[in-house]
Amino acid sequence: MLDYVYDLPFLQLLNSNSLDIVIMQGLSGGIGVILTVPIAAAFSAVLLSRHRQQQADEPEQAKASQA
Most confident of 4-8, 32-36, 56-60: 32-36
Distance CA 12, CA 1 (A): 14
- Cβ-based neighbours of 6, under 8 Å, separated by 6 or more: none
Average pLDDT over residues 57-62: 72
Per-residue pLDDT for 18 more than 60? Answer: yes
Distance CA 24, CA 14 (A): 14
According to the model, what pLDDT value does residue 67 have?
55
Average pLDDT over residues 30-51: 94
Average pLDDT value for the chain: 82
